[in-house]
């Protein structure tokens, strides 16, 4: 194992967002590429907003994607005494101090600053108080350097510098004694020996404050890599307004985990012009330095294209397991009817999602009770009746059982009666599936079986005859 240690640190206030999943993926890939360690840390210090359901949803999403972690999950809420100890350490060293300013007083100062066109910033009024009573409500603030600048070399964005005079004395402990977010992150990343922090670029502004805390505590500063946001087509940050954003919603819509991972890795990262990466290839080729600096736009069509690719190339037995929940959701039992694996083989080439595949599988297990009237209306009643009769006759008197032999029978029907293939294939497809969106005739007949095929064509003939 190398020294590299990375972490994914979601706040459990919702489901696993695709943006969070991509951050997790980049961390995981870097760890696997470098033989490092990937840690999962749940940042649940915001007790009001954090929920157990959200933790479960995040873990479920991570597991479904296969982003297994090496250490954790660690929960920040288990470490309050640790954070308090470090707050005390800074106070003792004179690097943090008690601030007795009330919220109203601070608000008034902030409003005045804004009214006067100054940047609102804590004015340092409690920095050097002599009297520091224990029994008065107070927060603890970090004594931030007031001159100079804080700078870091972001692995994605390059060098970023903040003048220290723009940074307030950060509150590190609230009046109720609880530590604040930026402080906990630093203590955790330091005590977990994180070497590289990969996270969304909404955290860039936290980074100089965190670096100042590392330095004040004598901890080595990790490397940072801030990943640009994912946007919707309108270039606004991707949100529910744009459609599904939860990883589990993509599972339920019938995406394969490898397709979503492949899609997410390419949102921001590239390796030449390649689009398709197996997990092994991603791990082998991933390089955090090749993550682009600009935000990426989520494109469902490309995700669909990748999903279709993975569905086409998956082994049908594995797909059968993944497809089952989608069939159950449609109240479909596959016990009476063709073998599910055989059905899947006829649908793999033409399904973008498992939801679509499940819809297309329905007709195999439920004979049509209605027919696409508009499609039927394209053919004369006499022709339909003649075609159905000829096909039933031909199938019943043959022992053909493979696709090529069945296709040959249909050609015979055509040539014997002088029909075109479209005049025969399409009516039969409607008879068997109810509509025109179905696999090739030979595939359907072989999968359904000749007896069931003849029965269904008979039902369609009765329907047409009675019109």
Q: Give me the residues that bind ligand GLU (CB under 6 A), please.
A: 9-11, 43, 185, 199, 203
Q: How far apart are CA 463 and CA 460, in angstroms?
A: 5
Nearest approach, Cβ of 37 to ligand GLU (angstroms)? Answer: 16
For residues 261-292, one letter each, b for 16 or more C-beta atoms within 10 angstroms of the residue's C-beta and e for the rest, the string is: bbbbbbbbbebeeeeebeeeebbebbebeebe
Nearest approach, Cβ of 135 to ligand GLU (angstroms)? Answer: 34
CB nearer ligand GLU, residue 182 or residue 346: 182
End-to-end Cα, the chain, rounded Å: 74
Integer Rg of the chain from CA: 32
CB nearer ligand GLU, residue 10 or residue 228: 10
Q: How far is CA 154 from CA 45, 160, 201, 289, in A?
A: 27, 7, 10, 10
Nearest approach, Cβ of 14 to ligand GLU (angstroms)? Answer: 10
Contact 218, 37 (CB under 8 A): no
CB nearer ligand GLU, residue 217 or residue 322: 217
One of 84, 95, 235, 240 is an active-site residue; which one? 240
SS3 (DSSP) at 8: strand
Query: Around Cβ 55, how many Cβ atoms within 10 Å?
Result: 16
CB nearer ligand GLU, residue 186 or residue 327: 186
DSSP characters for 299-317? Answer: -HHHHHHHHHHHHHHS-HH
Nearest partner of 325 among 270, 375, 252, judged by Cα: 252
411 is annotated as an active-site residue = no
Q: Which parts of 204-299 fold into alpha helices (H)?
A: 207-217, 247-252, 257-266, 279-285
Q: Residue holding tokens 């961390």?
A: 27
Q: Residue 235 region, left (φ>0) first, then alpha (ψ -120 to 50), else beta?
A: left
CB nearer ligand GLU, residue 50 or residue 262: 50
Full strand arrangement of the beta sheet holding 171-173: 96-99, 139-142, 171-173
Nearest approach, Cβ of 224 to ligand GLU (angstroms)? Answer: 9
Cα–chain center distance at 452: 41
Extract the tokens encoding 84: 């308090």
CB nearer ligand GLU, residue 53 or residue 349: 53
Nearest approach, Cβ of 271 to ligand GLU (angstroms)? Answer: 25
User: Omega before 247 cis (within 30°)?
Assistant: no
CB nearer ligand GLU, residue 192 or residue 454: 192
Strand partners of residue 224: 197
Nearest approach, Cβ of 432 to ligand GLU (angstroms)? Answer: 51
CB nearer ligand GLU, residue 196 or residue 433: 196
Nearest approach, Cβ of 183 to ligand GLU (angstroms)? Answer: 12
Nearest approach, Cβ of 264 to ligand GLU (angstroms)? Answer: 16
Q: How far apart are CA 388 and CA 396, in angstroms?
A: 12
Residues forming the active site: 240
């Amino acid at each position: 194992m190398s020294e590299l240690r990375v972490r994914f640190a979601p706040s459990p206030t919702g489901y696993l967002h695709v943006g969070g999943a991509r951050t997790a993926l980049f961390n995981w890939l870097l760890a696997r590429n470098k033989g490092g360690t990937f840690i999962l840390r749940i940042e649940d210090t915001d007790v009001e907003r954090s929920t157990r359901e959200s933790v479960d949803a995040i873990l479920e999403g991570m597991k479904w994607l296969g982003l297994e972690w090496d250490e954790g999950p660690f929960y920040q809420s288990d470490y309050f005494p640790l954070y308090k100890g470090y707050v005390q350490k800074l106070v003792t060293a004179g690097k943090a101090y008690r601030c007795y300013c009330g919220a109203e007083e601070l608000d008034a100062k902030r409003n005045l600053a804004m009214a006067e066109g100054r940047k609102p910033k804590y004015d340092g009024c409690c920095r050097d108080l002599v009297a520091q009573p224990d029994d008065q409500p107070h927060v603890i603030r970090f004594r931030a350097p007031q001159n100079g600048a804080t700078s870091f070399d972001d692995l994605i964005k390059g060098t970023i510098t903040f003048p220290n005079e723009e940074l307030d004395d950060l509150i590190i402990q609230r009046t109720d004694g609880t530590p604040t977010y930026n402080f906990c992150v630093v203590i955790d990343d330091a005590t977990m020996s994180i070497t590289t922090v990969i996270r969304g670029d909404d955290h860039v502004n936290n980074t100089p404050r965190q670096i100042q805390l590392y330095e004040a505590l004598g901890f080595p500063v990790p490397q940072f890599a801030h990943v640009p946001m994912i946007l919707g087509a309108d270039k606004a940050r991707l949100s529910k307004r744009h459609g599904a954003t939860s990883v589990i919603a993509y599972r339920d819509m019938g995406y394969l985990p490898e397709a979503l991972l492949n899609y997410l890795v390419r949102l921001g990262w590239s390796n030449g012009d390649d689009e398709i990466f197996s997990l092994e290839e991603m791990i082998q080729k991933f390089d955090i330095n090749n993550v682009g600096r600009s935000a990426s736009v989520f494109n469902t069509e490309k995700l669909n294209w990748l999903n279709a690719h993975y569905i086409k190339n998956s082994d049908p037995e594995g797909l059968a397991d993944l497809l089952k929940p989608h069939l159950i959701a449609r109240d479909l039992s596959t016990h009476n009817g063709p073998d599910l694996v055989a059905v899947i083989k006829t649908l793999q080439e033409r399904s973008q999602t498992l939801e679509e595949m499940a819809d297309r599988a329905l007709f195999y297990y439920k004979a049509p009770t209605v027919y696409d009237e508009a499609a039927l209306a394209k053919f004369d009643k006499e022709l339909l009746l003649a075609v159905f009769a000829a096909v039933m006759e031909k199938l019943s008197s043959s022992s053909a059982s493979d696709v090529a032999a069945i296709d040959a029978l249909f050609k015979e029907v055509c040539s014997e009666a002088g029909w075109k293939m479209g005049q025969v294939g399409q009516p039969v497809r409607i008879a068997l599936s109810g509509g025109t969106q179905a696999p090739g005739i030979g595939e359907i007949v072989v999968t359904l079986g000749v007896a069931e095929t003849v029965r269904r064509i008979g039902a369609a003939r009765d329907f047409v005859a009675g019109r």
